[in-house]
């Protein structure tokens, strides 16, 4: 199921995207980091229910899918762009991160485990 139609038809050079290791993103995603893409919210079209929003800090709010709970974005109060979660895209492999942010909170083991044993998922949806 597609949660949104993101502006992936735009040249990748038109929006910034990177890893955020800050403790707020870690908690919001439940993972060791967030992969965020800063885009103009007006360029997005939500394909299912409009996102639900909660205040995640004194300076920002976060959106999530009210049907499945997927984290969808981070929106700072003083920025008209939102940071989309790259993992919510149907094809995150098409958008390559450019930088790391919040590295003071990055766990020292954070390297995505290159070299560990690998296995493909057994389910498909
Ligand atoms: Zn963050």
What is the pLDDT at residue 8? Answer: 45
Q: Quick check: is 97 in a domain? A: yes
pTM more than 0.85: no
End-to-end CA distance of the chain: 9
Q: How far, in Å, from the CA of 73 to the mean position of ligand 1? A: 11
Q: What is the mean pLDDT of each run of 10 residues along the chain (125 residues)?
A: 52 79 93 93 81 94 92 94 90 90 93 88 84
Q: Which of the 8 DSSP states describes residue 99? A: E
Q: What does the pLDDT read at residue 2?
A: 60
Which residue in the block uniquely carries the two structure tokens 């709970």?
69
Is 123 inside a domain boundary?
no
Would you say residue 63 lies in a domain? yes
The answer to whether residue 116 sits within a structural domain is: no
10 CA to centre of ligand 1 in angstroms = 24
Closest residue by Cα to residue 37 from 70, 63, 67, 72? 72
Question: How far is ligand 1, taken at its centre, from the CA of residue 71, in Å?
Answer: 13
69 within some domain:
yes
Count other Cβ atoms within 10 Å, centred on residue 61.
Answer: 15
CATH number at residue 100: 3.90.1590.10
Decide if 56 is inside a domain: yes
* CA of 2 relative to ligand 1 center, distance in Å: 24
Task: Give me the pLDDT at residue 7, please.
Answer: 45
114 found inside a domain:
no
Please name the residue that has the structure tokens 């070299």.
115
Domain that holds residue 19: 4-105
Query: What's the structural domain count of the chain?
Result: 1
């Amino acid at each position: 199921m597609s949660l949104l139609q993101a502006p992936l038809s735009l040249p990748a050079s038109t929006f910034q995207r990177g890893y955020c290791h800050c403790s707020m993103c870690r908690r919001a995603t439940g993972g060791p980091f967030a992969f965020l893409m800063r885009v103009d919210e007006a360029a997005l079209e939500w394909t299912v229910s409009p996102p639900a929003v909660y205040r995640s800090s004194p300076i920002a709010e976060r959106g999530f899918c009210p049907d499945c709970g997927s984290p969808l974005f981070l929106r700072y109060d003083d920025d008209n762009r939102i940071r989309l979660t790259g993992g919510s895209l149907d094809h995150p492999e098409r958008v390559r991160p450019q930088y790391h942010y919040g590295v003071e909170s990055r766990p020292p083991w954070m390297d995505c485990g290159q070299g560990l044993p690998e296995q493909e998922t057994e389910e498909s949806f």
